[in-house]
Amino acid sequence: MSCSGRKRRRRTVSRLPNQKGMEFKLVVAVRKDIRISPGKMAAQVAHAAVSCAMKAKGSKKELYSDWMREGQRKVVLKVEDLVELEQIERLAAAAGLITDKITDAGLTEVPPGTITCIGIGPAKEADIDRITGHLKLA
């Protein structure tokens, strides 16, 4: 539930979960070009995480169990905009990873139908990093 990828912002690199022997993670990439409160963003990220977890539980049971056993690690990253989000989605889908793109109902902070974030995984860290390893932490 922490940092990952090639670019790291914090000085706690030596204590990152992936250096603690954790092999699996779920990533959620959020758009940074939309104005959204931290609580709303958290709800969107949670939506992506629940949807991806349920997909994994249904179709990739072993992967799901491995990820849960490790503590269901999650990493929240940011993408520039919808273009980058959908580029990530295509790459992840082509790699056979679980994805779930979240469209907000637009009841409060954003227009109806706004795509806010995408969940990728759970999957092996290396498989996800090939696609999202260049993204920064949200």
- List for the chain the helix, strand, coil content (%; round to 5): 40, 20, 35
Residue 104 engages a copy of itself in binding (rule: CB under 8 A): yes
Q: To which H or E segment does residue 77 belong? A: strand 74-79
> Residue 137 in contact with residue 77, Cβ under 8 Å?
yes
Instruction: Tell me the closest approach of the beta carbon of residue 130 to a copy of itself, in angstroms.
Output: 21
- Residues 38-77: x where in contact with a copy of itself by CB under 8 A, - otherwise, as a string: xxxxxxxxxxxxxx-xx--x-------------xx-xxxx
Instruction: Tell me the closest approach of the beta carbon of residue 95 to a copy of itself, in angstroms.
Output: 22
Residue 16, Cβ neighbours under 10 Å: how many? 15
Preceding peptide of 122 cis, ω within 30°:
yes
- Residues 72-101: x where in contact with a copy of itself by CB under 8 A, - otherwise, as a string: x-xxxxx-----------------------
46, two tokens: 């949670």
Residues that bind a copy of itself (CB under 8 A): 1-3, 10, 12, 15-17, 20, 28, 30, 37-51, 53-54, 57, 71-72, 74-78, 104-105, 107-109, 137-138
